[in-house]
Structure 1
Amino acid sequence: MRSIFILSLGALLAGCTSGVPLPGSVPRAQAPSTTTAATPPPQRPAPAPTRPASGFRAPQVMRLPGLERVIGRSAAQLEREFGTAQLDVWEGDARKLQFAGEPCVLDIYLYPMQPGAAPSATHVEARRASDGAAVDRASCVRALSR
């Protein structure tokens, strides 16, 4: 009786396999030899490059009225205008300077305009110091300027 159960269980488990190979698998009996050419798998198109081959991508420069004394300036020029930054963060060749006062917090983002160049201010964000709500960038620049 026990042997009938084991044989039945074996037959039941054998029926669970389809015998159809999975996509991309090669059955052992049909493994390609070194003398026959195997069909290469289909190739996916290469994704469009997001950067030129050199790896450099020129930044977009913010052009808003009232930001003339910020946009295009170096870190040294910005610190002469606003004092010592309370935050100075580097990420690769990009830099973020943060200046703060009672009325607002000013984040200035600096990126190199060409490969190997020193970063200069290209983007500005401003928020109220008390609650973080967005404020007019030009107004914050005027409020924090020396």
Structure 2
Amino acid sequence: MASRPATVDDVHALARAMPYVTVEHGPKGNPVYQVGRKSFVFFRTPRPDAADPVTGERYDDVIMFWVGSEVDKDALVRDPSTPYFTTAHFDGHPSVLLRGSRLGEISLEELTEIVQDAWLARASRRRADAWLAENGPPVDAS
């Protein structure tokens, strides 16, 4: 896979490419990618917990990705060199947030790993094991 900055279109393509995926739509038409009726990537609508610290304007491009554990979450959001973040609303929730406008700060390879890890975190054990047996673990892009 050639190294290039990730895009919002890549999020959609990578999520749809995972097996057993369905796409639901939230009340405002926002896509929610699911495996076995469990969300693993979803595009949030503007909410008060994710807003510009100067203007207070709610971000309209936040994407939530499930992660495997709080340790995984902590590793992503504590590193100031990454665009991942969380809010108090997600305290104790195994997920990270990323603004679509900042996707270009990560590579397509890293996004691929994030989406695959999100799917693995939410897929049934049988589906996850089958995917891992065929594909191996996601390659660490860091």
Q: What is the TM-score when the length of structure 1 is the normalising length?
A: 0.26
Q: Which has the higher contact order (CA 8 A, sep 6+)?
A: 2
Higher share of residues assigned helix: 2
Give 1 or 2 for the bigger CA radius of gyration: 1
Q: What is the TM-score when the length of structure 2 is the normalising length?
A: 0.26
